[in-house]
Structure 1
Amino acid sequence: MSVSEIEAKKGRRMKRAVIVAVSLAVVSGMLLIIGFYICRSRTKLKERNEVVVHQNNGGQNEDLELPFLDFSTIASATDNFEINYKLGEGGFGPVYKGILEDGQEIAVKRLSTSSGQGLNEFKSEVRLIAKLQHRNLIKLLACCIQEEEKMLVYEYMPNKSLDSFIFDQTKSKMLDWSKRFPIICGIARGLQYLHQDSRLRIIHRDLKASNVLLDSEMNPKISDFGMARTFGGDQSEGNTNRVVGTYGYMAPEYAFDGQFSTKSDVFSFGILLLEIISGKKSRGFYDPNHSHNLIGIAWILWNEGRPLDLIDECLGETCTLSEVLRCIHLSLLCVQQRPEDRPSMSSVVVVLGSECALPQPKKPGFFLEKDSNVAHGFSNLN
């Protein structure tokens, strides 16, 4: 083989080596670029995802059947629980407004360490609320269990709670009867679902104006199920040595003896109904300057044939008097002393949507009486 042939052969080998080296470099570069974009895409996807599963919670989310948000996501949504994001303070801890990265607004209930609710109780509440699906019940979107933190993430209600309207002299004027009556009907339907139509019979035990939230169209949604109890099978009532709830809304048998049932929720609904009609707080009438509570005022006016004097004066001429009168009548039936004398929530829903005859109410529970002349001055209190 000549020298020229040997040189040519070496040249071809060198050329192939260069081609192989360049090809390997190009392929490696492409693989690196592809790998980089895959990692970056996964990171962005994880950051955009509003439900981020926390991997270090010891398997606590395995049996809840509910999406989880990790603590950092919620902290970011609430600007690290900034005071300006705080919506209020409940019995178990503060509630904050949050905004997720995709713009979705949420309400975050952050349980305080002093709430007394343990992990198992928290998980029971989550399981309960997650299964409730009704347009008049607040929707639970996700939760967080991370170290000592326990949080519930709900849909955000822009109009906040019912009490912020009916007990405010300015905002109460925004709720005329055409808005109040649908709110009453919505609350009744929500309770009917809890008592009868859901898979379990559920007793709320803390129904009150501040636990009824209003969406952008003023549709009511019952919230705060931290004190709720569930019944299965034919069970319809229970007993407890630890009475929880809000005085002024509690049924007598529950407040004094710890006995609760669907009928104790009906009593609370009756109180709430009186508050919506009158614009007055039930507990506000436990005052040394007044001889009667709100139930007492309503009962006296009913017996004197002046039930319409109970109406919130800001309602003016917006009322459908037949509807208002029917609601006052119904409220007195709901707050009867004996549970068996109160209607079921199914009956309440029927009454609100019809003109069926109603029985005459008896003297209600928690009726306070000292001076019958106080009712004559009720209109001046509005």
Structure 2
Amino acid sequence: MAQEILQRVSSFSRPGKPKRVDPRHSDVPNVRPEHETPHADSRLLMRGAKVDTLVPYACIGAWAWGDSATWAYRAERDMPRIREAWEHLRAAGFNWIDTAQAFGSGESERICGELLADLPRDEFVVQTKWFAVPDGVNLTAGGQHAPRKKLEESLRRLRLEYVDIYLVHGTLHPSSIRTVAKGLAECVDQGLTRAVGVVNYDAEQMMRMAKALARYRLPLATNVCEYSVLRRHPETHGLIRVCRDQGIIFQSCAPLAQGRLTGKYSRGNQPRESYCASSYPIEEIEETIALLRRIAEARRVPIAAVALNYNLCKGTVPIVGIRNADQAADLTRALGWRLSTDEIRAIERVSLEGKTNVVWQRA
């Protein structure tokens, strides 16, 4: 049920006609300090209440793992490819996986549990998300205890004693932010997670959560929202800047606009309708893709690597959906170099604002 609800919520905000970004609302081209060039083995500090966690500059997105509603997952076809990609990424230094209770209605977590089985616990980082869908557990546990009860279920699927980061999956929870913060603190106190975060919170909601968590001496570690060349809304509306000022890691989900920024689609080969992140028809974003292609050819990297490097230069930590070894290779080639200021400015001239609504922080 969870994956069908997630799909319906995601489809509430279709982007409509593309809107170019007003340069006056842009952050500087290179937000990340010029001397800082992330590599696959580089690490950031994720703040926790009792233990901080070192995380890579990019995270492996596991939404497609086990999710048939959006990604048409088939175990016999996709599981061998996922295993191969995971081994490729581990060898390269990427060990941070993003999953959720809603992804495949728990199947993504179960697959993660298979991949992580028998690995030393300090060799990987995993985050999952509490989805406040009105199921039996959320309805009967009460507002404060629901996050813990659902996390206990997640941990059984993941075959783990704790996750590194536990996030609130969107603002559609019936309990108040203060009640949810108390529930997250309970998860930390019981050793079920080391850090906590939110997903799809705007700046005002995020700071309310940060204030509520501070009552329990618990920092807000991260906020996940859609951000890409095709959706710069979190930058132009100040969300990324607030995260930076508050020491909150901003994770950009759909940094490739669900494949639109890889160059694999065309007018005659449009993305699946269920790929709703920045879902402009390809003919409306051809100029953007053409520029990314020119930069990629000059640098001899994949188009996806250019789009991801843009995210890194802007100070975000991209969550990159990976389903096969080719996509894993694209991610590895996005690090170890930086776009020039001129290249970033050229990309931003053909970038899009994107939209949001009261339901979901995405285009």
TM range (shorter): under 0.3
- Work out which of the two has the higher radius of gyration on C-alpha atoms and give 1 or 2: 1
Q: Which has the higher helix share?
A: 1
